[in-house]
Amino acid sequence: MEPLFDVAVIGGGSAGFAAARTAAAFGARTALIDGSERLGGLCILAGCMPTKALLEASRRWHAIGEAGLFGLEAQPIRADFPAILARTQRLVSEFAADRQKELTEGKFQLIRAHASFLNPHQVELTYHDGQKSILRAKAFVVATGSRISHPPLPELREIGFWDSNTVLEQKELPESLIVLGGGPVAVEYAQFFARLGVGVRLVQRGAHLLKRFDSDLALVLEESFREEGIELWTSSSLISADWCGEQKRLRLVQRGAIQDLVAREIFLATGRTPALERLHLPAAGIESHPRAPAVDSEMRTRAPHIFAAGDVVGIEEVVHIAVLQGEAAGENAAREATGAGGPFRSLDYRLTMEIVFTEPQVARLGLTEAGAHLAGRPVLVARYPFADHGKSLLMGATKGFVKLLADPASGELLGAGIAGPEASELIHELLALLSVRATAGDLARLPHYHPTLSEILTYPAEEIDRQVACSQRPGSSPLPPKPPDP
C-alpha cells in the first residue's frame, strides 16, 4: 500500500519549507515534495538574494562616482560585470546549500519528485528518472510558487529575451537594454544595468511605476530614474517585436502615437503567475479562480483538508508573507490531519509591507492612500521631506519623503510610505508600532537619537497628533511645532 502521511507539502520554496517545518513541529508525520532541478526556491535562486547582491554592487559603484561630493578623489576604476555575477552566484550557491541542508535534515521526509493529484487524498509522484508512485495524505499544503508570466508578445520568444532566471547566465553587459514592466523586479534591474553604463529604456503599461504603491512614492523613483538617464515609457502598450539588424526592436503606442524602440537586449519583467500546471487541482476538488486557488484567512482552499500558501495563491507575492502563510498553512494542516485541539491559525494582512531596493528605496506598510480612497475610509495624512532633515543632508541623500496615515478620530497609525534613504530599515519601526495599534502621538513622543534618519518619522507624527488634538480634544495641549533641524 502507498505510504500514508498526516501532511504532504508540495513545493520546497520559502512557503513550502515553512509549512513542512511547522507541520512537523506540531507532531504531524510530514512529507515535503519538490521536483525542481535545484532546491532553494525563488527567493534564494532567482529573486531576493541575487537581485540584492547585484544592486549592492551597482550602489557601491554609483557611490564611488559621487565621491567628489564628499571631498574624496577616487582612482580610475572599472565595473567588472563577470566578477559581479561571480560574487552573486557564489552567494546564491551558499544560501542554496544552507537551505538544501535544512530540507534534507529537517524533521520531515523530503521526496524529490513532481506531484499531481489523483483524488482529494492521493497524489501521483513522478521522479526524475521517469518512475512513478502514489502517496496518500490526510491533509495537503500546496506551495508550488510561481513562474515567469508568458511574454506579452509571442514574437519575443522568437527574438529572445532575458529574465530574472537567465540574467545570471549572461557573460557581458549589453550596450542597450529595454526593460518591460514597472514592478519591483523591473525597476531594480533597470537601475542596476543603468548604473553600470547600459542605456536603459523602461516600458510600463500603467501611468506610473510600482502600481501597488501610492503614486506620490512612485514619482520620487521616476524622477530619480530620469536624472540617472533611464528613459521611462509609461502609459505604453506593446504592438510588435522583431529584429532590426543585430538589435531588437519593439513597436509600441504611447498616448496615441506609435513609437519604435531599439536595443541590443530585452529584459522581461512583466510579472509572475502561479505555478499550477502539474498539480491537476480539479481532481482534488479545487478550481483555480481566476488564476490561483482561492483560500480563506486560514489558508484553506475549498477542499477543507487542502491548504495553500506563498506565490501560488497570488495574495501578496513577497517572501515574508509567503513564510507567514506557510507557517499558518502547516499548523492548520497538522491540526486538521491529527485532530489536535486548539484554534486554527488565521492570517491578518493589516501589516502587509513591501519594499523596493532601488536608490532611493521605496517602502509601503498597511493602508495606502489609494486603498483608503477605494474603501471610502477617511484618514489623516502627513508628510515630511528628507530634503529638510539633518541626517539626510549629511548623507547627501535628500530625495523623497516619509508619510503616515492615521485614523482621524483616534490618531491610530494605519499605514505608512517611505521613498528615500534606508526606507527598508525605517519602515520596520513603523511596523512595530502598527502591530500594537500605536497612535501618531505615541510615535511623536518616542525619544530618537540625534542625528539619525529615524528622527524623521516623528515629524509627520507630530503633525497628525496636532490635527487630532485640535479636532477631537479642544483645549488640550498638542505638541509644539517642530523646531528647525540644526
Least confident of 97-106, 195-204, 235-244, 420-429: 97-106
Q: Is the pLDDT of residue 19 over 80?
A: yes
Read off the pLDDT band of 420 (50, 70, 90).
very high
Read off the pLDDT band of 79 (50, 70, 90).
confident
- What the chain holds in terms of domains, given with CATH numbers, is 4-148+273-338 (3.50.50.60), 155-270 (3.50.50.60), 360-472 (3.30.390.30)
Read off the pLDDT band of 70 (50, 70, 90).
confident
Q: Is the pLDDT of residue 143 over 70?
A: yes
Q: Is the pLDDT of residue 126 over 70?
A: yes
**For 363-373, how does the pLDDT look when each residue is reduced to its tens digit (9 = 90+)?**
999 999 999 99
Least confident of 73-87, 260-274, 447-461: 73-87
**Percent of the chain residues past pLDDT 90, beyond the cut:** 78
Read off the pLDDT band of 318 (50, 70, 90).
confident
What is the model's pTM? 0.90
Q: Is the pLDDT of residue 49 over 90?
A: no
Specify the pLDDT at position 335: 96
**For 278-294, how does the pLDDT look when each residue is reduced to its tens digit (9 = 90+)?**
999 999 999 866 678 89
Specify the pLDDT at position 44: 82
> 3-state SS of the chain?
CCCEEEEEEECCCHHHHHHHHHHHHCCCCEEEECCCCCCCCHHHHCCHHHHHHHHHHHHHHHHHHCHHHHCCCCCCCCCCHHHHHHHHHHHHHHHHHHHHHHHHCCCCEEECEEEEEEECCEEEEEECCCCEEEEEEEEEEECCCEEECCCCCCHHHHHCCECCCCHHHCCCCCCEEEEECCCHHHHHHHHHHHHCCCEEEEECCCCCCCCCCCHHHHHHHHHHHHHCCCEEECCEEEEEEEEECCEEEEEEEECCEEEEEEECEEEECCCEEECCCCCCHHHHCCCECCCCECCCCCCECCCCCEEECHHHHCCCCCHHHHHHHHHHHHHHHHHHHHCCCCCCCCCCHHHCEEEECCCCEEEEEECCHHHHHHHCCCCEEEEEEHHHCHHHHHHCCCCCEEEEEECCCCCEEEEEEEEECCHHHHHHHHHHHHHCCCEHHHHHHCCCCCCCHHHHHHHHHHHHHHHHHHHHCCCCCCCCCCCCCC
Specify the pLDDT at position 6: 97
Q: Is the pLDDT of residue 240 over 70?
A: yes
How does the average pLDDT of the chain come out, rounded? 92
Specify the pLDDT at position 39: 81
**Percent of the chain residues past pLDDT 70, beyond the cut:** 96
Read off the pLDDT band of 317 (50, 70, 90).
confident
